Amino acid sequence: MKTNKKFSVTKQNLWVDLLIAGGFLLAAQPHLTGMAIHEWLSLGLGVGFLTHILLHWRWVFETTRRLFGKLAGQARVNYVLNLALLVAFTLIIFSGLMISEEVLPLLGLQGVHGGVWKSLHTLAAEAVVWLVGLHIALHWKWIVTNSKKYLFGWLPKRRQAAVKPSEAAV
Amino acid sequence: MNTNKKQRKASFWLVLVGLLLLVGLVSGGVYLLDDQGLISLGGEMAGERPSLPEMSTTADGDTFLPPTRDHDEAGGFSGAGLLGLLKTVVQLGIVVVALTGFQRVYARLANRWGRAPAI
Ligand code: HEM
Ligand code: HEM
């Protein structure tokens, strides 16, 4: 019971979100990290995405059920975008595995060099940056509110008081 | 509640299977199109496996020159890699600023329009 009191689902989501955001930023720079890190990190990121989706599985389930019924417009927009993200990342990770130079050889398999999979990987990786940007933007308010609460809660409260009037004006 | 939970679990596996199916379809489709020469995503190499020795000679030769060699020698990260990171961050920032800005303006206008008929 005591642990329940301290545990916050929102806080857990915030940490997972921050982790996959950082992971994504690094995964998108294979030339910065080198190929070995790129491949293993991206696979780990895939696990992170799975966790992220599982933590929102109830939302996915309920929204799917109501998709063609009564549903807030914003949820519908989120749904379509989330679906696009899911498809894009599935393709990226799959095509990444196909051209892998580190992970596949370790399993005794030979990846392909160049060709369609590389083009697919690069194109989808370029496009997904915009999708992730939209996904973050659509949850921006949530991110700011909860970062203030859970990450920067230890800061002096003075600044928050100064922010309030301007917020009221907007 | 209990059956709902069961349903949610079942649908998770359904989605997972669906995803695998999607991957299979896309890979099969792309492979087929490439094999028939109907798409040229792979450039000259479309539809055939490049011979490895040939690839490695080109890669070792003129194409694989790091753009900032002198910086690399100084140690640390390569400037090009960091520039890529900056590019991604700026891209994400642009989308966030554009969308939240639009939402703010839209909310303001909607507020005005919403009030107008009432006056
Ligand atoms: C870099 C990658 C990603 C970041 C930074 C990110 C971040 C976020 C944030 C901040 C939220 C809202 C707060 C929360 O409840 O956690 C959220 C919600 C959500 N995300 Fe992601 N996400 C990412 C990738 C994905 C992917 C690949 C999917 C795949 C489908 C996805 C699906 C969802 C779903 C279903 C929700 C909840 C429903 C909603 O309000 O949209 N996310 N994400
Ligand atoms: C979130 C997931 C991923 C993202 C955002 C991503 C992004 C990228 C980007 C931007 C490039 C550079 C393309 C270029 O400069 O031409 C690249 C290259 C590459 N990626 Fe990924 N990637 C991801 C996952 C993976 C995975 C899971 C693997 C393999 C296990 C992988 C293997 C590769 C390889 C081998 C290359 C080099 C291609 C080449 O230049 O020949 N990637 N990736």
Taking only the tens place, the pLDDT of each residue in B83-119 is 999 999 999 999 999 999 999 999 899 888 875 544 4
Distance CA A54, CA A153 (A): 27
The phi and psi torsions of A7 (rounded to 5 degrees) equal -75, 130
Percent of chain A with pLDDT over 70: 88
- The H-assigned helical ranges of A7-72 are 9-27, 30-33, 35-55, 57-66
Kindly state whether A25 is in contact with chain B, defined as any CB-CB distance less than 8 angstroms. Answer: yes
pLDDT of A148 reads 93
Whether the per-residue pLDDT at A112 is higher than 50: the answer is yes
Confidence grade of residue A159 (pLDDT, cut at 50, 70, 90): low
Instruction: Tell me the whole-structure pTM to 2 decimals.
Output: 0.79
Query: CA of A58: which chain B residue's CA is closest?
Result: B8
- Residue A63 CA: distances (Å) to CA of A78, A82, A138, B20, B40: 10, 11, 16, 22, 39
**Range of lowest pLDDT (A85-89, A90-94, A109-113):** A109-113
Give helix A9-27 / helix A140-150 axis angle, nearest 10°. 110
Using an 8 Å CB-CB cutoff, list chain A residues near B11: 61, 64
Question: Which of residues B23 and B76 earns the better pLDDT score?
Answer: B23
Distance CA A164, CA A158 (A): 11
**Mean pLDDT, range B24-50, rounded to an integer:** 66
ipTM of the complex: 0.83
pLDDT of B76 reads 52
Kindly state whether A94 is in contact with chain B, defined as any CB-CB distance less than 8 angstroms. Answer: yes
Residue pair A113/A99 in contact (Cβ under 8 Å)? The answer is yes
Is there a contact between A113 and B52 if contact means CB atoms under 8 Å apart? Answer: yes
Confidence grade of residue A139 (pLDDT, cut at 50, 70, 90): very high
Tell me the ligand closest to B59's alpha carbon.
2
Please give, rounded to a whole number of angstroms, the shortest distance from the CA of A149 to a CA of chain B. 20
Which has the closest alpha carbon to A85: A16, A31, A141, A21? A21
Is there a contact between A29 and B12 if contact means CB atoms under 8 Å apart? Answer: no
Give residue-wise pLDDT tens across range A41-54: 999 999 999 999 99
A-B C-beta contacts closer than 8 Å:
94
DSSP states along B70-117: HHHHT-S--HHHHHHHHHHHHHHHHHHHHHHHHHHHHHHHHHHHHHGG
